[in-house]
Structure 1
Amino acid sequence: MLTVLDRALRWSTGLMAAMALFSIMLLTLVDVTGRKFFSHSVPGGLEVTEILMVIVIFGALPLVSWRGEHVVFDSLDAFIPSGLRRIQQRVVHLFCAIAFAWMARLMLLRADRFLDYGDITVHLQLPLAPVAWMMALFLFVTALVHLVFVFFRPPEPAFHGAAQPGDAA
């Protein structure tokens, strides 16, 4: 089951974040080239970059949580018995699930307000509600990831802790 979830997250949120990051890179290249050689930038380039950054940041959240690649304070782990540490980790994942679900709910409320007020971007006149809905979706998926870890042991993180002497540079 966890392998299926890993694959689903990589091919959904991970791919979306990667494509958005590549799009930012391409947009920046075209924008800088246009300004340098043609004295014109891409109209609305900043707005598109901001929306793409939302996709990169919020799209990566579920995958970062899934892989355990977020910042971890583990200075006291050596002093906590392993049984208690497992309970502590489950409580932390439950707290994270609740916090991300709460933030998703707040973002849904904000998206509804954007829709009611007709909020749009300044230059391109793009509606803001779909962006907020997408943020809420990614926050909700992140909450589900942490909820899964309340009941199942998370996969080992790709990198955990500081580099050890003798590690390849």
Structure 2
Amino acid sequence: MCSINLPGSIELTEIGMAILIFAAMPVVTWRGGHIVVDLLDRYLSTFVVKCLSLLSAIVISGSFYYLGHRIYQLGERSIRRGEVTEFLGISSGYIVQYIAIMSWATALGMITYGVYRIFFQDKSN
């Protein structure tokens, strides 16, 4: 059995996974693909369920906004310090800032289309 060891291949895999995962976050949010547990929906009125859904959308989007803000600051600090990956020398700060931007996109998707889905989409679909 032959084994080839390419320097930096693990780094490229990690960077690729970060790009792929954080690129999918806004898409999943926009499509409403998150897991939803509706244990109390049949016992509560439609108005209460919509209010709770709106509250959760606001909390989630606010959390993603704050998370993105903090991650962006960490990315700026990495760039200022000149932090790079071990083998390939890729600046890790730009990847961290990409994660922050995708977190902001997720927050925007949640607060816009998420709220739209709460109030205007028919539940029978």
Given the two structures, how large is their TM-score scaled by the length of structure 2? Answer: 0.87
Q: Report how far residue 45 of structure 1 moved.
A: 0.6
Which runs of structure 1 show a deviation greater than 3 angstroms over 4 or more consecutive aligned residues? 154-157
Tell me the residue number matched to 2:71.
Answer: 107
The alignment-based identity, stated in percent, is 26
Tell me the residue number matched to 2:48.
Answer: 84
SS in 1 for 2:88: coil
Given the two structures, how large is their TM-score scaled by the length of structure 1? Answer: 0.66
* Structure 2: runs of 5 or more not aligned: none
Q: Deviations over 1:79-111 (max 9, x none)?
A: 111111111111111111100000000111110
* Structure 1: runs of 5 or more not aligned: 1-35, 158-169
Is 1:69 aligned to residue 33 of structure 2? yes
Tell me the residue number matched to 2:86.
Answer: 122
Aligned partners of 2:55 and 2:64: how far apart in 1?
14
Q: Report how far residue 149 of structure 1 moved.
A: 3.8
Structure 2 vs 1, CA of residues 111 and 44 (structure 1 numbering), >3 Å: closer, same or farther? Answer: same
Q: What aligned pairs does 1:7-156 form with structure 2 within 5 A after superposition?
A: 36-37=1-2, 39-149=3-113, 151-153=115-117
Q: In 2, are the aligned partners of 1:97 and 1:146 still within 8 Å (CA)? A: yes
SS in 1 for 2:42: helix
Aligned partners of 2:113 and 2:53: how far apart in 1?
9
The count of aligned residue pairs is: 122
- Given residue 88 of structure 1, which amino acid in structure 2 is its aligned partner? L
Q: Report how far residue 146 of structure 1 moved.
A: 1.1
Q: In 1, are the aligned partners of 2:32 and 2:114 still within 8 Å (CA)? A: no
- Give the alignment's Cα RMSD to 1 decimal: 2.1
Q: Report how far residue 42 of structure 1 moved.
A: 2.5
Q: In 1, are the aligned partners of 2:57 and 2:115 still within 8 Å (CA)? A: no
Q: Report how far residue 153 of structure 1 moved.
A: 2.3
Q: In 2, are the aligned partners of 1:68 and 1:156 still within 8 Å (CA)? A: no
Aligned partners of 1:62 and 1:156: how far apart in 2?
22
Q: Report how far residue 125 of structure 1 moved.
A: 1.0
